[in-house]
Structure 1
């Protein structure tokens, strides 16, 4: 079964397989599969990056047609021109911005697009198409200290893949966090027990909005000493599932299973705070629809979809509207993760491992890079400076 996500000259097509797997491809205007795109995207089916690569690639293929080029003859300087256009905000030496009316790609999105383009052209160069471009893109570099520390037996690595299209990496040293007192202000504007549950769970659970909306009731072990035996305290199992009705899914793909005893084991286990547990019981007792067969935690409360699973976009809009009503401006759900991780890092005395596991981050390097910087108002920071200045 296929659902069109974007109607245009070329469009991304979502395919839901009979076994529940989800994959993405790109369709021609006449309804035929784009063969070059499909060959590449099949390599990433089910990887978690397939949807992102599909949208990055469809934009590039549209640009090729706009410029009168094709994948078999495009040159390296054409790809450089595309990367300049897709990230441009104003006309520049590379020409007018390509994404007119939309925000230009930031550093992270540009690096993703560069990775997609390199993979696409190197893959087809291996099949005999545009081999010179593939040779120009398939470069190597010396491994850095960080590469060696991240890789298993990294000291044996002599070369790492390099991408000449990728921009210089920019460290995200100042993530956008919630305003002071945002939680209390948001709770006052939350109009239902479900919305208050969302605020509490985003605040205390460090959940991404897709993970929150993808939770099933069986994933919640909110009493001490649950039957899973994986955590003695109330906790939640984040389980990656494809093909959910609301298109929500967890980002990470930790192995999990539903045992014969009906108990979920595995996934990413996260502790649940007392406020998360209280908000859950308030919501289940007052608002959860009786007889809901989908088994998901959060449901729509109004309109034609009443009682159906709540989509991540609905949760984003709820958070944004509540923030506007509270006078906080536009609030994005991901700001809760930034605030939570920063708070845990401060409370643990800078322990990166605790912050990593509490927030479900991929590595301590990510936590250190984004969050581990000193508070300039810290007394120890002030004392160190005064010692150096000779004014202690």
Structure 2
């Protein structure tokens, strides 16, 4: 075990298993494992376990403040809790269990609602507070979007519903893009071929930073007609691995396998000529021979030279490069937002093309977030001027 991150009297503890897997649990004030949330977190994947652990700690501290326990909490109490963590106004007595925290935003409220529903349904299945579990374990009629996303969607009769989830799902329709000229200017400020490759792959591939840092050399099929037979053009297989030593994980966990040293499956992403060029430059000039882990991105200096590169190092590199160019802080996700928007524009609004190019889970999400008219588009401006009679 590693030292936990203290949150009040209850804390989250990171646990490293013998096979390299990283899991998370919750410790009580005396340092003992909190058995109830621990049993629930063990049923989750590593990425979900980490997120839910911190959300559960917040909820457990609130239970202590309210003098409630798992057998006594009611549905009305959960509704009150969801209102408290999402409220902008803290109330006359403040928020003593999370006084240094900001209110949850829409997306965090949705995740918290899913976490609490799963937790209390898990308890109800073990005979604890079955009334609350029944109140949470509801279904709804499937929508047209549900049927489109599901395999054999025409056979759907019901979908799970969460009664404590916030109503009126809102997405930010204008995600933050890269600063003007950043994609072209950044490589010139970077010393290492590795960093120039990172900028190229983020910009031309639309990778999430966890996907990029989790790549292994065997995942790269950068020649035409690769042996995997899944794509004739140069491409990359994005594969979810729980045991990456740099803790990087893939968000979309498509099935994959390795047969005779050839990776098949995962999420396939096309590689541009620029990506192939920067990869060749990096591998022939800087990739260290002592790197035996087989991962693509490695640290080049310091006592950990040769170790896999963490996502925090990529974020730090981009931040400092942006400062040198007098931009705002440059974030990895801005490359992905810009890439998706540019592909959607080039495809004349075809969300399916943008979905496949960026590895999105659904075309509906691409259309909802990115499928809007650019207010600087000449066609848009001409339409307004004609309307205004200019």
**Is the pair's TM-score, using the shorter chain for normalization, greater than 0.5?**
yes
Alpha-carbon distance between aligned partners in 2 of 1:11 and 1:251, rounded to the nearest angstrom? 25
SS in 2 for 1:49: helix
Alpha-carbon distance between aligned partners in 2 of 1:95 and 1:76, rounded to the nearest angstrom? 23
SS in 2 for 1:105: coil
SS in 1 for 2:300: coil
Alpha-carbon distance between aligned partners in 1 of 2:163 and 2:92, rounded to the nearest angstrom? 19
Q: What corresponds to 2:15 in structure 1? A: 15
> How far off is 1:109 after superposition?
0.8
Alpha-carbon distance between aligned partners in 1 of 2:28 and 2:44, rounded to the nearest angstrom? 20
Q: What corresponds to 2:357 in structure 1? A: 358
> Compared with structure 1, are the counterparts of its residues 309 and 121 closer, same or farther at alpha carbon in structure 2 (3 Å cutoff)?
same
Q: What corresponds to 2:104 in structure 1? A: 105
Q: What corresponds to 2:128 in structure 1? A: 129
> Compared with structure 1, are the counterparts of its residues 161 and 93 closer, same or farther at alpha carbon in structure 2 (3 Å cutoff)?
farther
Q: Which runs of 5+ in 2 are unaligned?
A: none
Q: What corresponds to 2:243 in structure 1? A: 243
CA contact (8 A) 1:255 1:266 kept: yes
> How far off is 1:201 after superposition?
0.9
> How far off is 1:136 after superposition?
3.0
Alpha-carbon distance between aligned partners in 2 of 1:332 and 1:230, rounded to the nearest angstrom? 31
> How far off is 1:216 after superposition?
1.2
Q: What corresponds to 2:229 in structure 1? A: 229
Q: Does 1:54 align with 2:89?
A: no
Q: Does 1:183 align with 2:183?
A: yes
Alpha-carbon distance between aligned partners in 2 of 1:243 and 1:360, rounded to the nearest angstrom? 22
Q: What corresponds to 1:81 in structure 2? A: 80
Alpha-carbon distance between aligned partners in 1 of 2:61 and 2:97, rounded to the nearest angstrom? 10
SS in 2 for 1:44: coil
CA contact (8 A) 1:206 1:359 kept: yes
Q: Which runs of 5+ in 1 are unaligned?
A: none
Alpha-carbon distance between aligned partners in 2 of 1:188 and 1:390, rounded to the nearest angstrom? 44
Q: Does 1:115 align with 2:144?
A: no
TM-score normalized by the length of structure 1: 0.90
**1:135-174 matched pairs, under 5 angstroms:** 135-168=134-167, 169-174=169-174
SS in 2 for 1:245: coil
SS in 1 for 2:336: helix
Q: Which moved more, 1:157-166 or 1:374-383?
A: 374-383
Q: CA RMSD, aligned part only?
A: 2.5
Q: What corresponds to 1:201 in structure 2? A: 201
**1:340-379 matched pairs, under 5 angstroms:** 340-378=339-377
> How far off is 1:37 after superposition?
0.6
**1:193-342 matched pairs, under 5 angstroms:** 193-260=193-260, 262-342=261-341
> How far off is 1:21 after superposition?
4.2
Q: Deviations over 1:145-170 (max 9, x none)?
A: 32333334445544433223211211
Q: Which moved more, 1:133-142 or 1:173-182?
A: 133-142
Alpha-carbon distance between aligned partners in 1 of 2:93 and 2:108, rounded to the nearest angstrom? 18
Q: What corresponds to 2:5 in structure 1? A: 6
> How far off is 1:129 after superposition?
1.7
SS in 1 for 2:43: helix
Aligned length: 388
